[in-house]
Amino acid sequence: MKLALLVSEGPYTHQASDSAYQFAAAAIAKGHEVMRVFFYHDGVYNSTRLTEPPQDDRHIVNRWAALKEQHGVDLVVCVAAALRRGIKDEVLAPGFRISGLGQLVDAGIKADRTVTFGG
**Backbone torsions φ then ψ of 57, nearest 5 degrees:** -110, 160
* Residues contacting residue 52 through CB under 8 Å, at least 6 positions apart: none
* 3-class DSSP state of 15: coil
Encode pLDDT of 44-89 as tens digits. 999 999 998 898 899 999 999 999 999 999 999 999 999 999 999 9
Q: Can you give the pLDDT at residue 70? A: 97
What lies within 8 Å, CB to CB, of 30 at 6+ separation is: none
The residues, any chain, with a CB within 8 Å of residue 23's CB and separated by 6 or more, are 5, 115, 117
Q: How far apart are CA 21 and CA 24, in angstroms?
A: 5
Q: Is 78 a catalytic residue?
A: yes
Domain count, the chain: 1
Quote the CA–CA distance of 47 and 87 in Å, as a whole number. 9
Q: What is the CATH number of the domain that holds 26?
A: 3.40.1260.10
Q: Which domain holds residue 24?
A: 2-117
Give me the catalytic one of 44, 67, 78, 107.
Answer: 78
- Given its phi and psi angles, is residue 73 left (phi above 0), alpha (psi -120 to 50 degrees) or beta? beta
pLDDT digits (tens, 9 = 90+) for 101-118: 999 999 999 999 999 999
